[in-house]
Structure 1
Amino acid sequence: MKEKISITAITSMSPLGSTLEETWQSYQNDDHYFSLSKINDDKTWMAPLSKSAKLLVEELRESDSKYRKLDDSVLFAMVASRMAVKQSGWENTAEFGINMGSSRGATKLFEQYHSEYLATGISSTLSSPTTTLGNISSWVSHDLGAAGPEISHSITCSTGLHSVLNGVAWLNSGMATKFLVGASEAPLTNFTIAQMKALKIYAKVTESNSGSVVDTSTVIERSRSYPCQALNLKKEYNSMILGEAASVACLEWGVIKNALAIIDGVGYATEILKHNTSISANAICFQKSMKMALGDLDVTEVDAIVMHAPGTIKGDSSEYNAIQEVFGDYMPQLTTNKWKIGHTFATSGMLNLELAVLMLQHNQMISVPFLESKSNSRIIKKVLVNAVGFGGNAVSILVSKSE
Structure 2
Amino acid sequence: MSPPITITSIASISPLGNNQEDIWAGYQHSGHFFRKASIGNTAAWISCLSEPSKLEINNLRNSNSRYLNLDDSVLFGIFTARRAVKYAGWGENDNFGINIGSSRGATGLFEKYHKDFLQNNSTAVLTSPTTTLGNISSWISNDLQSKGPSISHSITCSTALHAILNGVAWIKSGMAKKFLVGGSEAPLTPFTIAQMRALKIYASEEENDYPCRALDLNKQKNSMILGEGAGVACLEYGIHKNSLAIIEGLGFATESLEHNISLSADARCLQDSMSMALGSVPPKEIDIIVMHAPGTIKGDAAEFAAIKKIFGNFLPALTTNKWKVGHTFGASGILSVEMGILMLKHQRFLGVPFRSPNPPRKINRVLVNAVGFGGNAVSILLKNPESQIG
Shorter-chain-normalised TM-score: which range? over 0.9
CA distance in 1, matches of 2:325, 2:151: 27
Which residue number in structure 1 is paired with residue 70 of structure 2? Answer: 70
**How far off is 1:40 after superposition?**
4.1
For residue 261 of structure 2, the aligned residue among 263, 271, 277 is 277
AA in 2 matched with 1:311: G
Deviating beyond 3 angstroms after TM superposition, the runs of 4 or more aligned structure 1 residues are none
Q: CA offsets per residue over residues 148-200 of structure 1, 9 Å max, x none?
A: 00000000010000000000000111111100001100000000000000000
1:259 aligned to 2:247? no
Is 49-58 or 93-102 further displaced after alignment? 49-58
1:91 aligned to 2:91? yes
Equivalent pair of 1:262/1:401 in contact (CA under 8 Å): yes
Q: Secondary structure at the match of 2:131?
A: coil
AA in 2 matched with 1:17: G
**How far off is 1:93 after superposition?**
2.8
1:237 aligned to 2:218? no
Which residue number in structure 2 is paired with residue 220 of structure 1? Answer: none
Which residue number in structure 2 is paired with residue 387 of structure 1? Answer: 370
CA distance in 2, matches of 1:41, 1:272: 37
| TM-score (normalised: structure 2) | 0.97
Is 29-38 or 254-263 further displaced after alignment? 254-263
Q: CA offsets per residue over residues 102-157 of structure 1, 9 Å max, x none?
A: 00000000000000000000111000000001000000000000010000000001
AA in 2 matched with 1:348: S
CA distance in 2, matches of 1:258, 1:73: 28
| TM-score (normalised: structure 1) | 0.94
**How far off is 1:370 after superposition?**
1.9
Equivalent pair of 2:40/2:189 in contact (CA under 8 Å): no
CA distance in 2, matches of 1:119, 1:235: 43
Equivalent pair of 1:282/1:321 in contact (CA under 8 Å): yes
Alpha-carbon RMSD: 1.1
AA in 2 matched with 1:118: L
CA distance in 1, matches of 2:91, 2:232: 15
Which residue number in structure 2 is paired with residue 341 of structure 1? Answer: 325
Is 249-258 or 189-198 further displaced after alignment? 249-258
**How far off is 1:258 after superposition?**
2.8
CA distance in 1, matches of 2:348, 2:378: 24
Equivalent pair of 2:248/2:381 in contact (CA under 8 Å): yes
1:297 aligned to 2:281? yes
Equivalent pair of 2:164/2:182 in contact (CA under 8 Å): yes
Q: Secondary structure at the match of 1:290?
A: helix
Which residue number in structure 1 is paired with residue 116 of structure 2? Answer: 116
**How far off is 1:95 after superposition?**
0.3
Equivalent pair of 2:317/2:359 in contact (CA under 8 Å): no
Which residue number in structure 1 is paired with residue 351 of structure 2? Answer: 367
Matched residue count: 386
AA in 2 matched with 1:36: K
Equivalent pair of 2:290/2:368 in contact (CA under 8 Å): yes
Equivalent pair of 1:18/1:50 in contact (CA under 8 Å): no
1:286 aligned to 2:286? no
CA distance in 2, matches of 1:42, 1:355: 32
Q: Secondary structure at the match of 2:130?
A: coil
Equivalent pair of 2:349/2:359 in contact (CA under 8 Å): no
1:357 aligned to 2:341? yes
Equivalent pair of 2:39/2:188 in contact (CA under 8 Å): no
List alignment gaps of at least 5 residues for structure 2.
none
